[in-house]
Amino acid sequence: MRTHAWMPTSPCDTGCLDTTSPRVGVLRTAFRAVRLLIALVVTALDVLLRFGSDRRHAVRAGCSRLLRACGARLVVHGGEDLVDEAHAGGRGVLVVSNHISWLDIPAVNALTPMRSLAKADIQEWPVLGGLIARAGTIFVDRERLSTLPGTVAELTDALRGGALVNVCAEGTTWCGAASGPFVPAPFQAAIDGGVPVRPIALRYRLASGTETTRPSFLGEESLFTSVLRVLRLRALVVEVVVCDEIAPGRAGDRGELARLAEASVRSALGHDTVASARRVLPLRVRTRVR
């Protein structure tokens, strides 16, 4: 993989994984694997055969189905107004979240279907990659910095068009016990589009309330390895906390807007917020004439 100075990086690797989380046996793991495959196929067909609002309902139902197949329970705090707004349509919202696992995308879309900004290589994931693409995902090539202004312009267009777009604002996965700074670039789209930002905090814990890092998708490990680790977990809970909206104009620039959103998420998770130094990349956003 090609890297550059602006690419988000994370020090987290499989050494961050806790070893004490309870696990299910081989038969239960195999049963969940079969259920997950069936859920993927059913969801793929359901999404492909539907259009408009029916497709959005299919995406939401399918994401809930995928979480249940993995043995995970979704717990949501707040966000009723965001769901109502998604149903009503008309106003775009940049929904930003921390990034821990491949489960983040189905967890957010089980709350309400929304478009996503995702790294381009997700398209190569078996079945799930195709579903993500069909959901109107905007893909970013993290290895080619020259494509970033065009991606921000595409994101701006989607927000101006009234879409809810989810961005994993750390730009890469962290283990959950540690976290990274929010990348400012996508926040430029909210400023240019004149839309609010809605932070969402994601947390993975056990039924006992103890947080676990085992659902993390870390380092250079394969998707298969991470999925298998999730299937082995007993009583996984995916917790989604929808924070207060950040209104347009509240921040002076994308760097400040990123810090406000980051502070909101860290507060919801009960983590201390440390204002980390950021280099803000100058963007020449290509506006499209309609």
* Model confidence pLDDT, tens digit, residues 155-196: 999 999 999 999 999 989 999 999 999 999 999 999 999 999
Q: What pLDDT score was predicted for residue 89?
A: 66
N residues, the chain: 290
Ranges 37-41, 90-94, 228-232, 277-281, most confident: 228-232
pLDDT higher at 270 or 125: 270
In sequence order, the 6+-apart residues with CB closer than 8 A to the CB of 236 are 70, 71, 72, 73, 204, 205, 206, 212, 215, 230
3-state secondary structure 215-227: CCCCCCCCHHHHH
pLDDT-derived band at 123 (thresholds 50, 70, 90) equals: confident
Q: How much is the average pLDDT of 192-204?
A: 97
Q: What per-residue confidence (pLDDT) applies to 118? A: 83
DSSP strand pairing (93-97 vs 197-206):
parallel
What is the arithmetic mean of pLDDT over 143-158? 86
Using DSSP, state whether 8 is helix, strand or coil: coil
Residue 64 has pLDDT above 80, yes or no: yes
- Which domains occur in the chain, in start order? 20-269 (3.40.1130)
Query: What's the mean per-residue pLDDT of the chain?
Result: 87
